[in-house]
Structure 1
Amino acid sequence: MDATPEKQERWDHRMETPLAVASGLFLGSYAVRVLAHDLPRVWLDVCLAVTLVTWAVFLVDYAVRFRLSGLGPLRFVRAHLLATVVLILPLLRPLQMVKIYEQVQRRRAKPRLTLYARVMAYSTLTVTLLGFAGALAVYQHERGAPGATIRTFGDSVWWACETLTTVGYGDVTPVTPVGRAIAVGMMACGVALIGAVTGSFSSWLIQTFAREDEKRPPGDFPGAS
């Protein structure tokens, strides 16, 4: 299979919808398995099968992208870090929808949103998907653990909000190794996302004030003679 930019672009375009559907199906089937764990075993098995099929879709997509790239394994991993992490960590698989949305926006001659609005939109979408997936994962591992303070899904959602915003009241905390590992990852993501939003907002304010100053006549500036 020859590695050409045209083939890679065609593959990206062809896989946008399947990957978005796979991401949604994964999140939906995982949510059903966690929140409706009292369902008959057959339905839980169906949800598990859907989860495995979505992983297979990501695996095939990753393998084809590797063949089309013409890169070595290490260079490909560095160039496609998000796809690699998503393939390894199922918890981050819903974030693939953010990447697909960005690809669709990039193909437009002129994006509908400004740069700063896109940063806000991507950050909001990322926080929502990551928070929901993280809350599901923590609830799954914490609800029956000895000494756990996260007993309901509501507790888990509250904890996810605390963690992503780096508030950390400490009223509910994970006690299992898996739950704490998820917490560390969500803390890192929360710091990065808050930094991106804060930096983008500050830059937007500076540029707005700079444009207003440029429109003023020289005599209107404070202290001008």
Structure 2
Amino acid sequence: MDDESRLDRWERRSDLPLGIASLVFLGAYAVHVLAPGLPRAVHLVFLSLTYGSWGLFAVDYGVRWWISGTGPRFVRRQWLDTLVVLLPLLRPVQIVRTYEAMQRRHGRPRLALQARVMFYASLSIALLGFAGALAVYQVERGAPNATIRTFGDSVWWTCSTLSTVGYGDVTPVTTLGRTVAVGLMACGIALLGAVTGSFSSMLLQRFALEGEEDLAAGRTPERPPRE
């Protein structure tokens, strides 16, 4: 059995467990950040779940690297997976990939390509925005001269950042918070571009299909009256 087949088998078997681990990671991290008043023992449990999930991501990355047999080239070819291992808050976005893989195993996806792109990009924006809001809130809430004091402030800032509006009423003041902001800006531009591009493509296909149906029925498109 070649390495490609072994890698496919591993990915099929690990997709669902890693998808669940991604949700566990995000949920445990959210509780740890949003409920600071919980007993220390409870926080240790959620931190253990967070780091345990992160460990599973690293193990999966190592196994796929070993199976691929490509050596250091694997890091360059799988740059997104490498980035996710280094920045685990991006991991929940890969839930989208898990869902897509499961859909394909059960047959042809129900939605058209453009609709799937819009759905997956929107879901990715929501997951990425929630994870980014948690991270910024955690590092900003206790910083001197911080304007992001509540999770609501962080969510508002994340929405304006992902949409590339950037009102500037609340902004991160820490180095880590600004680093997260740069990442959210880049991801927001890419994902929103995917949504708008797919929506435009879907409209163009719909209009083209209506034009073909009119021609098949012997109707000519209506022309505006001449002045």
TM-score (norm 1): 0.93
Contact 1:3 1:67 in 2 (8 A): no
2:3 match: 4
**Equivalents in 1 of 2:2, 2:72: separation in Å?**
14
Q: Secondary structure at the match of 2:109?
A: coil
Distance 1:219 1:31, change over 3 A: closer
Task: Report the alpha carbon displacement of residue 222 of structure 1 after superposing the two structures with TM.
Answer: 4.1
- Give secondary structure in 1 for the equivalent of 2:85: helix
Structure 1 residue aligned with 2:179:
181
Distance 1:109 1:32 in 2: 36
Q: Say whether the 8 Å CA contact 2:157–2:171 is kept in structure 1.
A: yes
Q: Shift of residue 223 of structure 1? A: 5.1
Q: 1:144 and 2:145 equivalent? A: no
* Structure 1 counterpart of 2:33: 34
Using the TM superposition, give the Cα deviation of residue 109 of structure 1 relative to its aligned residue in structure 2, in angstroms.
3.1
In structure 1, the residue matched to 2:107 is 109
Residues 98-137 of structure 1 mapped to structure 2, 5 A cutoff: 98-137=96-135
Task: Kindly indicate whether residue 67 of structure 2 is the aligned counterpart of residue 68 of structure 1.
Answer: yes
Which stretch of the first structure deviates more once superposed, 178-187 or 47-56?
47-56
- Out of 163, 166, 172, the position equivalent to 2:164 is 166
SS in 2 for 1:145: coil
Match of 2:19 in 1: 20
Give yes or no for the alignment of 1:211 onto 2:186: no
Question: Unaligned stretches of 5+ in structure 1?
Answer: none
Are 2:31 and 2:46, in contact at CA under 8 Å, matched by a contact in 1? yes
1:220 alignment counterpart? 220
State the shift of 1:161 in Å. Answer: 0.7
Query: Are 2:52 and 1:53 aligned?
Result: yes
Contact 2:117 2:195 in 1 (8 A): yes
What CA distance in whole angstroms lies between the structure 2 residues aligned with 1:45 and 1:107? 38
SS in 1 for 2:145: coil
Q: CA deviation at 1:167?
A: 1.1
* Gaps in structure 2 of 5+ consecutive residues: none
- For 2:2 and 2:25, how far apart are their aligned partners in 1? 30
> Offset at 1:219?
5.5
Instruction: Work out the number of aligned pairs and report it.
Output: 222
How far apart are the structure 1 equivalents of 2:87 and 2:177? 14
Deviations 1:199-224 (A, max 9, x none): 11111111111111112236623459
Q: Displacement, 1:56?
A: 1.2
Note the C-alpha offset of 1:160: 0.7
1:80 alignment counterpart:
78
Please state whether the residue corresponding to 2:171 is helix, strand or coil.
coil
Point out 4+ residue stretches in structure 1 off by more than 3 angstroms.
none
- Aligned equivalents of 1:205 and 1:191: distance in 2? 21
Counterpart CA distance in 2 for 1:213 and 1:78 is 45
Shift of 1:3: 4.6
* 8 Å contact from structure 2 (residues 163, 188) kept in 1: yes
Counterpart contact for 1:19–1:96, Cα < 8 Å: no
Q: TM-score, normalised by structure 2?
A: 0.92
Give the fraction of aligned pairs with identical amino acids, expressed as a percent. 59
Which deviates the most, 4-13 or 172-181? 4-13
Tell me which amino acid in the other structure corresponds to 1:82.
L
Residue aligned with 2:167, SS: coil
